[in-house]
Amino acid sequence: MRPIAVLDSGVGGLTVVKQLLAELPGVPLVYVGDTARTPYGPRPAEEVRAFTEQIVKHLCTLDPTRIVIACNTATAVALDAIAQWCPVPVHGVIVPGARAAVRATRSGRIGVIGTEGTMRSRAYDVAIRACDARITVQTLACPAFVPLVEEGAYASDQARGIVEEVLVPMIAARVDTLILGCTHYPFLAPAIQQVMGSDVQLISSATEVAHEVRSHVGHVPEGTGVLDVSCTGEVAPFEAIVRRWLDVDVVVRHCVLPEGVRMD
């Protein structure tokens, strides 16, 4: 059976895998995490675009039915270019998240937080305003958040303090809906919800893209699909995170990306 392929800059896209496993349990999944080159957030757009194209070309050789770019930064800078040449349908996380936020807002004031790369691209602003041009969008890059989650400190008092400090401009903008526009931010959702207040709706792009992919897959087979996980960096620490997060006995492989695969 042909798989659905998911890629990310590292570990964060496993949140999308978790959602897909829940919604499409019988479908085989392939995941590639670019742990050798993570993080993508602070990198120039051209570099992230080149990395993402390279991984998508590799995934195409596995004959997937669909490809999901689980990384917000990669979606922001590479999805449009990839959709131009890729023979396989490609999903990004930005349009599903933007649509869900537009459905959710009452006040017409939406906030978006993400990496520097995602915010610089303005891809969320464009996607939101394509749905409804009357909406005002407040964006904020939160470069401190990814390291906080990766250090495992997302539930600490220190995390709560940093979130409070960083989100001051977002509170001032009086948004009623906030898009967590980065794979790692759902881990900080309890702190973010506390800081923003219970009236603010948080939107997770991982949940939204899984719904979108589900709506495109016709027949969902019974049983558990095969999960094939690989990463470009060191296997052991990545495998530990995969096992802990997905609660499965998966064996992670090392992934060697091809140089200059031609698609034409």
> What residue 71 binds from ligand I24, ligand DGL, none (CB within 5 to 8 A, per partner kind)?
ligand DGL
Give 55-114 as a 3 state SS string: HHHHHHCCCCCEEEECCHHHHHHHHHHHHHHCCCCEECCHHHHHHHHHHHCCCCEEEEEE
Subset of 40-59 contacting ligand DGL (CB under 6 A) = 40-41
| Helices 94-104 and 205-216, axial angle in degrees (round to 10) | 110
Q: Which of 60, 71, 142, 231 is catalytic?
A: 71
> What residue 143 binds from ligand DGL, ligand I24, none (CB within 5 to 8 A, per partner kind)?
none
- 135 contacts 109 by C-beta, under 8 angstroms: yes
Taking the least distance from each CB to ligand I24, the nearer of 82 and 148 is 148
The C-alpha atoms of residue 85 and residue 87 are separated, in whole angstroms, by 6
Residue 241 interacts with ligand I24 (CB under 6 A): yes or no: yes
- 86 catalytic residue (yes or no): no
- Say which residues have a Cβ less than 8 Å from residue 47's Cβ, sequence separation at least 6: none
Residue 152 interacts with ligand I24 (CB under 6 A): yes or no: yes
- 149 contacts 15 by C-beta, under 8 angstroms: no
Taking the least distance from each CB to ligand DGL, the nearer of 7 and 225 is 7
The C-alpha atoms of residue 231 and residue 252 are separated, in whole angstroms, by 7
Order of strands across the sheet that contains 201-204: 136-141, 109-114, 177-181, 201-204
- Say which residues have a Cβ less than 8 Å from residue 220's Cβ, sequence separation at least 6: 24, 25, 26, 27
Q: Which of 60, 142, 182, 231 is catalytic?
A: 182
Residue 206 interacts with ligand I24 (CB under 6 A): yes or no: no
Q: How far is the CB of 96 from ligand DGL (least distance, A)?
A: 13
Task: Show the site string, 240-259: x = touches ligand DGL by CB under 6 A, - = not.
Answer: --------------------
Q: Which region, left, alpha or beta, applies to residue 30 given φ > 0 means left and ψ of -120 to 50 means alpha?
A: beta
> What residue 15 binds from ligand DGL, ligand I24, none (CB within 5 to 8 A, per partner kind)?
ligand I24
Residue 15 interacts with ligand I24 (CB under 6 A): yes or no: yes
Subset of 134-153 contacting ligand DGL (CB under 6 A) = 146
Residue 233 interacts with ligand I24 (CB under 6 A): yes or no: yes
- Say which residues have a Cβ less than 8 Å from residue 39's Cβ, sequence separation at least 6: 9, 10, 115, 146
Residue 30 interacts with ligand DGL (CB under 6 A): yes or no: no
Using the rule CB under 6 A, which residue among 9, 19, 35, 52 binds ligand I24? Answer: 35
Using the rule CB under 6 A, which residue among 38, 201, 230, 232 binds ligand DGL? Answer: 38
- 255 catalytic residue (yes or no): no
Q: Tell me the helices (H) and strands (E) count for the chain, helix number first.
A: 12, 10
**List of residues contacting ligand I24 (CB under 6 A):** 10-12, 14-15, 35, 149-150, 152, 184, 187, 233-234, 237-238, 241, 244-245
Binding positions for ligand DGL, rule: CB under 6 A: 8-10, 12, 38-41, 71-73, 114-115, 118, 146, 182-184
| Active site positions, annotated | 71, 182
